Chain A
Amino acid sequence: MFMASKTLIMIYDEYKNIVIDVSWIHPFPIYGNAPYTREKSVIPELNGKRRLQEKREKYEAIATANNLKFYPIIFENTGGIISQSYEYLQDLLKVFSGGYQGSALLRQYWKNRISCAYFHSVASEIETKIKYLTGVRYVDQRYENRASFIQESSSIDYHC
């Protein structure tokens, strides 16, 4: 009789059942009527910690009830990660253990990749949006406005 093969997957407890939520926040409010005081401006990670608390209130109780660990990863819009989330990220990156200098370079590589992914998308989105709003994208997309068309059309000898 044919028996279908079954695959056993061994799972380490250390990284088991973790839920992650990634979020961004601006270091200071840009709209709204609430006064932004000197006391608020000198507290580092003020908005980041507030967002961290919001995420914990939202997810932590239900995650714990489901035997899950909750890791909120909060970035500020400067690309910086708040200290508590950085510890969570370090915890996750411990998965790269062993190798050259305890895989410190590999962990650094992935931190760089995550950071660059953020900055890449921010830069390209701002670029696209500015082009869209100032009409550059529309102008670029018109065939008659392209440099290649202008060059080709100017080389045609209409007199022959």
Chain B
Amino acid sequence: MPSIFLPLAENLASAIRSIDEISSFEGVRIDLTFTQLQEMGHSKEESEIPTKIGRQHDLYTLMSKAVLHNLKQSVLSSSLKKHAWILSLELKMSGTFLNVIPKCPSMTFDNTQFRILVNLRLFLDQPDLLPGIRCDCHRNPVIDNRCHHMLTSCSKMAFGLRVHNSVLNTLKECLQSGGLLVTREPTNMFQNVFDADSQFTEKEKNMRPDLYVHGKQDSHYDI
């Protein structure tokens, strides 16, 4: 495990030693040389965003990889669900709300909302929830302290539907702003099955996908 207190780097050699110590973990030994340090920062990642390029970013990535590995190992021995949660947090777009720019109203949260989200992200109890309170949905379960019940199985007050619709509307807005023709929940999408003796049932033919992208509208020609 890396030391808790970060040593004050008095010179470059001690700084490199400190980085080596933090970046090394079980089975992986990091031994940076001055030449390696100089070469860092030139590799361009898949992201073209300027903040994710540079020596500082490379060093940060190197150290955070080891810290995350150590954290996961310690969590795995205590709680399996928390470990699964951390794995899920590693997915793309899970933490973008924490450092989005520009700070327009649709990308900012008030204090209560932000507290709820940070507690949710850190797998902590929701402070505003009274412990032991029962939900008013059809099974009347006791709500777990982290409010995961509301995220998953609570259909009361159309929780899931509202979340689903808000994202869907944003995705539709996004695609439309790119010049695509988009329809939400179109009907009769699967009626034109070309195979005459198809195996599809009427129920399947009447399914409604969330979005239908007609195509990109290039230009209009009036005749």
Contacts and interface: CB of A to CB of B under 8 A. Distances in A.
Interface in B88-130: 88-97, 100-101, 106-107, 109, 112-114, 116-117, 120-121, 126, 128-130
A119 B84 contact: no
B113 A76 contact: no
Interface in A1-58: 5-24, 26-28, 30-31, 36-38, 40-42, 44-46, 48, 58
A125 B159 contact: yes
B60 interface: no
A62 B214 contact: no
A105 B167 CA distance: 20
Nearest to B158: A125
B168 interface: yes
Contacts of A150: none
Chain B's interface: helix, strand, loop or mixed, by majority? mixed
Contacts of B34: none
B215 to A, nearest CB: 3
A61 B88 CA distance: 29
A78 to B, nearest CB: 4
B178 A96 contact: yes
A123 B109 contact: yes
B210 A62 contact: no
Interface stretch (A127-135, A140-148, A152-160): A127-135
Contacts of B193: 62, 65-66
B198 A65 contact: yes
How extensive is the interface on chain B, given as a class? 35 or more
A25 to B, nearest CB: 8
A69 to B, nearest CB: 9
B136 interface: yes
Contacts, number: 292
A12 B174 contact: no
Given A11-B215, A30-B153, A62-B207, A24 B107 contact: no
A31 B211 CA distance: 31
A19 B121 contact: no
B152 interface: yes
A11 to B, nearest CB: 3
Contacts of A10: 217-219, 221
A66 B190 contact: yes
A133 B135 contact: yes
Contacts of A59: 207, 209
Interface of A: 5-24, 26-28, 30-31, 36-38, 40-42, 44-46, 48, 58-59, 61-63, 65-68, 70, 73, 75-83, 86, 92-93, 95-96, 101-102, 104-105, 108, 110-134
25 contacts: A8-B220, A8-B221, A9-B217, A10-B218, A14-B216, A15-B215, A20-B211, A23-B164, A36-B80, A46-B84, A59-B209, A63-B209, A66-B192, A78-B94, A80-B93, A81-B91, A83-B91, A86-B93, A101-B50, A114-B93, A117-B106, A117-B169, A122-B163, A123-B116, A125-B150
Given A80-B90, A81-B93, A116-B107, 9 more contacts: A15-B180, A26-B148, A46-B84, A61-B200, A112-B107, A126-B126, A127-B128, A134-B129, A134-B133
